[in-house]
Structure 1
Amino acid sequence: MSCTSPVRVSVIIVNYNGGALLTECVQSVLLSTIPIWIYVVDNASVDQSISILTQQLPPDAPITVIQNSENRGFAAAVNQVLSQVETDYSVVLNPDCLLQADTLQQFCAVLDQEQYRTYGMAGGLVRNPDGTEQAGCRRAIPSPWRALVRVLHLNRWFPQQSRFDNFVLTEHPLPSQPVAIEGISGACMVVRQEAVLQVGLMDEQYFLHCEDLDWFMRFGEAGWPILFIPHINIVHIKGACSQREPLRVLWYKHRGMIRFYKKFFRQRYPLVLYWGVATAVWLRFGLLAVPLSVRRWFNALVL
């Protein structure tokens, strides 16, 4: 499955019921101004997204489509490809993202610079379709303390004290130059293959959500910092691929948060704070799940 020269970038797109957006995403990547190879890993979609894609692909398109017989989860699907490619960089890209023709060329140009050779991962300015910056585009690691700050809105009560900063950084001014950052958007992650060989693949115990946070932590701990590049733009139509099963997605997200906290912070924080955050996570799930379930029941009743 390895790419051959002069391809330097492998683009990994995990699809699950991405609909027509998958084709739009792939078509935007095919316009890239540098040689690339695309891998679409389909996690047993039940819609027509793969057939729509294959019907519209030119016969010589640099793309490999892998169709799994079951939904293996996001991290496992990424690892199917990431474990075998040999390109300098790999891009983990959501199927509801749209790139500009020079996006990948710009990423390579920055990461190739000597001053950024020690960075293992990079992300750009991820925007909503209306052009606004997307929440989660720039973020700090959501440690238990930061999660507590966010839940209790302590950043609003103590806006001048850095210890009460929110882990979502979109309210901060955009930097004018590439800067080191703890976390980027998981919708578009450019990883250096040299770093992946040292850090390791994604943790497949996360089925959906939080596998990116896990990777951010491990990259940082291994001495491969993360770079945010503000002049590179990506459009992300957030949530477009999760509308079919919002309750299931919500469950996996909160389960992933619990695994993340347990894996990295259980030994670093007092037990009472850890269990307090874990309780808050499940309470949050309950508060969000109830209206979703009621709405789903009501829609089924009406139909």
Structure 2
Amino acid sequence: MEIKYSTAILIVNWGSYDYTRSCLISLSHCLNKDFQIIVIDNGSSDGSGQRLFDEFQQTCTFLFSDINLGFTGGNNLGIKWALERDFDFVLLLNNDTEVNPDFLTLMLEEFALNPKLGVVQSMILFMDEPNKIWSAGGKWIPSLGRAITLGDRVLLKDYVVQNKVLDWATGCCLLITRQTLEQVGMLNEQYFAYFEDVEWSLRCRDKGYEIALAEKAIIYHVAGGSSKKEHAEGMLSPRVFYFHVRNQFFLVRQQVKGLWKIAAISYHLLRFSAWAVYFTGRFRFKKLKSVLRGIIEGLSKPI
């Protein structure tokens, strides 16, 4: 089945020339050619945005931000650009991914099969272990305010999709319709990065749109390529832990109702207290401070 829709593919670059370049090259082999790639350079200070522009300006559109707007703000720049130009679909694609040539065709086919769909996610495998699943979509547990990744590290050959309908889709590879965007709105920029895709997905479902997995649409993900850099306290910066903790509490406060909210907050306080104990024992005091700051701001900041 050949689907003819215009798609804007958004790729946010933040100081990651090699990853973004590899992603763009893989997209050049796509069977479906009815798309436009928009590279959003998110305030890169290493010149990677200009290098990519010099190399790919003939085939990609480039948007430049003077500052790092995060995953949310960077993608929202691209979403706004795409909506102003009447694209039928917008695809969020992490820059540390590479795609199979038929991935977009297979994702679009899901919309033809189910008119209730607002969002489709691809099957995502690890780049360095392409037989293992990184994400087959997400499940939301309301009583705990917990987002679970389906298929995490399961061998692809052993994974059986019980239900293609998902609770949430990861922003690593998320295809959304123009109509859904117009009804639901853009990403919540207060999140900056982490859990913004869960919050967005749950908003889509609240508006009556379904989310599905395109299990045969395959892409490969480095997993944290743009956030894994050498730091004094390991590969992940303290800032990553801050956003993870803070946004988890944002999500609970927004999505969990009634007495379950108290239970969910207590559950995550226990989880993150364990993180704090671990970082204290490993003398990773910057990460400890980030976790504590995330807890305080996640529970107190207006949302």
Q: Which has the higher contact order (CA 8 A, sep 6+)?
A: 1
Aligned pairs (5 A) from 1:117-136: 117-129=115-127, 130-136=129-135
Gaps of 5+ in 2: 230-235, 288-303
- Residues 90 and 282 from structure 1, CA distance in 2 versus in 1: closer, same or farther, beyond 3 angstroms? same
CA pair 64-142 structure 1, distance change in 2 beyond 3 A:
farther
Which one-letter code corresponds to 1:72 in the other structure?
Answer: L
Alpha-carbon offset, residue 29 of structure 1 = 1.6
**CA distance 1:78–1:142, shift in 2 (3 Å):** farther
Aligned equivalent of 1:202:
187
Instruction: Give the whole-Å Cα distance in 1 for the aligned partners of 2:271 and 2:171.
Output: 20
> Structure 1 residues 279 and 47 mapped into 2: Cα distance closer, same or farther (>3 Å)?
same
User: How far apart, in 2, do the equivalents of 1:292 and 1:246 lie?
Assistant: 14
Q: From 13, 16, 28, give the equivalent of 1:15.
A: 13
Q: 1:226 to 1:289 in 2, by over 3 A?
A: farther
User: What is the aligned partner in structure 2 of residue 300 from structure 1?
Assistant: none
Amino acid at match of 1:220: R
| Map of 1:74 onto structure 2 | 71
Deviation at 1:7, TM superposition (A): 6.6
What amino acid is aligned across from residue 107 of structure 2 in structure 1? F
Q: Is the 8 A contact 1:97 1:235 kept in 2?
A: yes
Q: Cα deviations across residues 12-47 of structure 1 (Å, max 9, x unaligned)? A: 111212231111111212322222111111111123
Q: 1:46 to 1:88 in 2, by over 3 A?
A: same
Match of 2:132, SS state, is: coil
Distance 1:292 1:90, change over 3 A: farther
CA distance in 1, matches of 2:249, 2:97: 27
1:254 alignment partner, one of 245, 253, 269: 245
2:160 counterpart of 1:174: yes
Q: Which amino acid aligns with 2:165?
A: A
Q: Aligned residue pairs: how many?
A: 267
SS in 2 for 1:83: helix
1:292 and 1:262 map into 2 onto residues whose CA distance is 31
List aligned pairs for 1:216-255, cutoff 5 A: 216-244=201-229, 246-255=237-246
Moved more, 116-125 or 137-146: 137-146
Contact kept, 8 Å, 1:254 with 1:285, in 2: the verdict is: no
Mapping of residues 1-303 of structure 1, within 5 Å: 8-33=6-31, 34-57=33-56, 60-61=58-59, 63-85=60-82, 86-111=86-111, 113=112, 115-129=113-127, 130-145=129-144, 147=146, 167-170=148-151, 173-175=159-161, 179-244=164-229, 246-265=237-256, 267-270=257-260, 272-287=262-277, 289-290=279-280, 291=282, 293=284
> Residue type of the partner of 2:276?
G
Return closer, same or farther for 1:20/1:211 CA change in 2, 3 Å cut-off: same
The separation in 2 between residues aligned to 1:120 and 1:48, in whole angstroms, is 36
Quote the Cα distance in structure 2 between the aligned partners of 1:264 and 1:73. 22
* Cα pair 1:42 1:66 within 8 Å, conserved: yes
Residue matched to 2:298: none
| Further displaced range: 211-220 or 94-103 | 94-103
Distance 1:258 1:294, change over 3 A: closer
Q: TM-score, with normalisation over the residues of structure 1? A: 0.79
* Structure-2 change in CA distance of 1:12 and 1:94 (3 Å): same
1:132 Cα deviation after fit: 3.3
Deviation of the 1:286 alpha carbon: 2.3
Aligned-partner Cα distance in 2 for 1:271–1:220: 19
d(CA) in 2 for partners of 1:274, 1:205: 21
C-alpha spacing 1:132/1:247, structure 2 compared with 1 (3 Å): farther
Report if the CA contact (8 A) 1:174-1:230 is conserved. no
Q: Indicate the RMSD between aligned Cα atoms, in angstroms.
A: 2.6
Q: Structure 1: how far apart are the matches of 2:13 and 2:215?
A: 27
Q: Which amino acid aligns with 1:43?
A: N
Deviation by residue 1:226-274 (Cα, 9 ceiling, x = unmatched): 0101111010110111013522112112111111111111x33345313
Percent of residue pairs bearing the same amino acid type: 18
Deviation at 1:146, TM superposition (A): 6.3
